[in-house]
Chains A and B, each alone.
Chain A
Amino acid sequence: MAETLMEVRGLKKHYPVDTGLLKKLRGEQRRVHAVDGVDFDIRKGEILGLAGESGCGKTTTGKCLTHLVEVTDGTMTFGDDRIDIAGLSGPELKAYRRRAQIIFQDPFESINDRFTIRKWVGEPLKIHGIVPEEGFEAKISNCLEQSGLTPAAEYLDRFPHELSGGQRQRIAIARALVLDPEFIVADEPTSMLDVSVRAGLLRVFKKLVEEQGVTVLYISHDLSLLRYVCDRIGIMYQGELAEIGDSDAVLQDPKHPYTQALVSAVPRSDPLTKRERVRIPSEVVDRYGGIEGCSFKDRCPYRFERCEEKPRLVAMDGPVEQRVACHLYDDAVEETMDDIEPDFEEKKTFDIV
């Protein structure tokens, strides 16, 4: 098994919602538990996908791992030197920033249009005071070409606004690469791009991993896309990890009732196949504070008494990794999925009004 690049243990990030002084003083401040106790490892040289619906905490997890927000609790042990990045500040933080980079969703918001591409991609070198062995120009060109902008010379003196969305996202990747990072967090990097452009960007990430041993955390809501890009995939729900493991196992044979519902809701592009829908209630209300017991219990068709307790992640038997946070798979619990009559949402029919 590959070595671990980052060990995330008990990660929590709570955001205060009522920021008024009075409520603060009275101790009535409500908090959103965006990430609420997450454990997982990221292995060296893998692409780990992180998926889930909006508000599940996947983006916040990415921000914690790149130290863009202060975590509320937990440890994130990084690299061979096993530093805990949660506690970093000052020069150590700056050193970590060199090793870990983040790429954002919107290539139109995240790039300064007043810089030439040479200046924008090269800026991190200046900030960190690094003189690349091969020289600035060669380093920048190299990174542009790795991102698929070839020949690089054609792009160096242009401004980002002259480029398409896909090309801008490649600029963002080049800028992330210029510091030779070990770890890249990519937060929905292709969700604003057209399909024909998307595939090319995915290949850039795959190549980075294969050829340079970079490790990538790829955050996306798009399960079909993650199947192509990830080795392993984690499914988050309400700030917790519902299921994690080999991406084919998780997507082809999901175990957690939430993953099952999620996968069954993805439309299929082959018009000749019909899919079985697992019907669960669709909306989640805003929740403040932590959740007692299983966070999915209110929508879960298999809910039983035990769900009032928090489930732990248990490993499935099998050739590949697949771990599930559901009592029904826990050997310490008597019940299994076969023992419970699922209570699916009923399909609606209407009378004409």
Chain B
Amino acid sequence: MSLLNVSNLDVEYQTKEGPIKAVSDVSFSIEENERFGLVGESGCGKSTIAKSILRLLPDNGSITGGEITLDGVDLVGMDEKALNEIRWAEISFISQSAMNALDPVYSIGHQIVEAIRTHEDTSEAAAKERAADLVEMVGLERARVDSYPHQLSGGMRQRAMIAMALALQPGLIIADEPTTALDVITQDHILEEIDTLLKTLGSSLFIITHDISVVAETCDKVGVMYGGELVETGPIEKVFVEPEHPYTLGLLNAFPTIEGGQEELITMPGQPPDLHDPPTGCRFYERCPYREPRCAEEAPPLTERGDGQRAACFVSEEEPIRDRYQDVVDKEEVWLKL
């Protein structure tokens, strides 16, 4: 049994312009000790999935279909009291902005102690000692337990949040753009620390980011989202090396790398679909250089591509997209021809 199982998840937001289907029919699972990364551009639904798992959707959002289970226990129908028991203890959350997540009027130590004592029957002193250990573990001085969030730099706050997320050694840590606001050297330290800590604790990671290279280095598996749907998923070394969905290929083409190789970045013209009224066929149809007439009529399902890779594309099901236009696939013209 998987640690986390998301199946056929649908999420809607109510807006003035009518309902938005932010997430449509998304299924994936995370095993114990596994790191799963979800990538995609703004509005693709990746953060909504994290919020759905944590049951932290805003008031206008609701899960309209599908199941989410953690260790076999249903999360969608769980009441608030039961949820509070598993939050921090079994699932914890690292958000992009630690400033918004930490309470400005309490010291870091106080907040960690509170999280520990809500879930465990420990003395104040013992919890405080553990808070100091945690703070030290994430690379801060022990004395920082007495600091308030405003006394810390952005990187230090992010570390404090990680300390808090690890306090109860949860099986699953969800991180939504955990290092996006940080400088590259700080980001590197924090990602390395998360890596070491996950190994030590044996926890799983679900990380959401727009930064492909962070996922490439941190995760075992990746999911690519487009227009509220999961269009491709599988092991990193498959999806990022031999992408089977044209959108994944487009994303990799547009992503700058420091190590060189390709000399030009290639854009994908066009815009993601309007989720008030998503198209019936493939949602990437309008922007796809490989599209065929049937792609407009029928939505392609995720199908097996070997070694655990799955993609939702009719065209690549027949032959790998890279082979199809081998000489031109990395050229801008192919994408701009549309």
Is there an interface contact between B188 and A267, defined as CB atoms closer than 8 Å?
Answer: yes
CA distance A283 to B151 in the complex (A): 14
Interface residues of B in 21-61 (CB under 8 A from A): 41-42
> Is B143 on the interface with A (CB-CB < 8 A)?
no
Question: Inside 8 A of B240's CB, which chain A residues have their CB?
Answer: 269-271
Is there an interface contact between B213 and A195, defined as CB atoms closer than 8 Å?
Answer: no
Is there an interface contact between A283 and B186, defined as CB atoms closer than 8 Å?
Answer: yes
- Selecting from B195-203, B293-301, B308-316, the interface stretch reads B195-203
Best-buried of B184, B210, B241, B267 by chain A (most CB within 10 Å)? B184
CA distance A261 to B137 in the complex (A): 23
CA distance A16 to B277 in the complex (A): 53
> How large, as a class, is the contact surface on chain B?
35 or more
CA distance A84 to B200 in the complex (A): 59
Output the nearest chain A residue to B220 by Cβ-Cβ distance: A271
Is there an interface contact between B254 and A195, defined as CB atoms closer than 8 Å?
Answer: yes
CA distance A280 to B240 in the complex (A): 30
Is there an interface contact between A195 and B184, defined as CB atoms closer than 8 Å?
Answer: no
- Count of A-B contacts with CB under 8 A? 133
Interface residues of B in 185-224 (CB under 8 A from A): 185-189, 191-193, 196-197, 200-201, 210-214, 216-217
Is there an interface contact between B256 and A228, defined as CB atoms closer than 8 Å?
Answer: yes
Given contacts A199-B265, A203-B267, A283-B156, contact A269 B185 (CB under 8 A): no
Chain A 206-246, CB-CB to B under 8 Å as 1, else 0, gives: 00000000000000011111011000000000000000000
Is there an interface contact between A221 and B183, defined as CB atoms closer than 8 Å?
Answer: yes
B130, B212, B255, B256: the one contacting A353 at CB < 8 Å is B130
Question: Inside 8 A of B261's CB, which chain A residues have their CB?
Answer: 270
Question: Inside 8 A of A195's CB, which chain B residues have their CB?
Answer: 41, 210, 212, 251, 254-255
Question: Inside 8 A of B217's CB, which chain A residues have their CB?
Answer: 267-268, 271
Give the A interface residue count (CB, 8 A). Answer: 45
Within the complex, what minimum Cβ distance (angstroms) separates A161 from chain B? 14
Question: Inside 8 A of B259's CB, which chain A residues have their CB?
Answer: 268, 270, 273
Question: Inside 8 A of B197's CB, which chain A residues have their CB?
Answer: 350
Output the nearest chain B residue to A192 by Cβ-Cβ distance: B42
CA distance A348 to B195 in the complex (A): 11
Is there an interface contact between B41 and A350, defined as CB atoms closer than 8 Å?
Answer: no
Given contacts A252-B260, A269-B240, contact A197 B267 (CB under 8 A): yes
Is there an interface contact between B252 and A269, defined as CB atoms closer than 8 Å?
Answer: yes
Output the nearest chain A residue to B131 by Cβ-Cβ distance: A353
Interface residues of A in 182-201 (CB under 8 A from B): 194-200
Best-buried of A53, A194, A272 by chain B (most CB within 10 Å)? A194
Output the nearest chain B residue to A285 by Cβ-Cβ distance: B153
Is there an interface contact between A268 and B213, defined as CB atoms closer than 8 Å?
Answer: yes
> Is A251 on the interface with B (CB-CB < 8 A)?
yes
Question: Inside 8 A of A227's CB, which chain B residues have their CB?
Answer: 256, 258, 260
CA distance A168 to B269 in the complex (A): 16
CA distance A94 to B80 in the complex (A): 62
> Is B19 on the interface with A (CB-CB < 8 A)?
no
> Is B271 on the interface with A (CB-CB < 8 A)?
yes
Question: Inside 8 A of B236's CB, which chain A residues have their CB?
Answer: 271
Is there an interface contact between B256 and A265, defined as CB atoms closer than 8 Å?
Answer: no
Output the nearest chain B residue to A195 by Cβ-Cβ distance: B254
Interface residues of A in 60-97 (CB under 8 A from B): none
Is there an interface contact between A221 and B139, defined as CB atoms closer than 8 Å?
Answer: no
Is there an interface contact between A200 and B267, defined as CB atoms closer than 8 Å?
Answer: yes
Is there an interface contact between A272 and B241, defined as CB atoms closer than 8 Å?
Answer: yes
Interface residues of B in 287-327 (CB under 8 A from A): none
Is there an interface contact between A223 and B183, defined as CB atoms closer than 8 Å?
Answer: no
CA distance A53 to B181 in the complex (A): 11
Given contacts A53-B185, A221-B184, A269-B257, contact A199 B267 (CB under 8 A): yes
Q: Which 6 A-B pairs have the closest CB atoms?
A: A199-B265, A265-B188, A267-B213, A194-B41, A269-B213, A53-B183
Question: Beyond the given A199-B254, A269-B255, could you list 16 further A-B residue pairs with CB under 8 A, ordered by the A residue number?
Answer: A194-B41, A195-B251, A199-B256, A227-B256, A228-B256, A264-B188, A267-B191, A267-B213, A268-B216, A268-B217, A271-B240, A272-B241, A282-B139, A349-B196, A350-B197, A353-B137
List residues of A whose CB falls within 8 A of some B CB: 53-54, 164, 194-200, 202-203, 221-225, 227-228, 251-252, 261-273, 277, 280, 282-283, 347-353
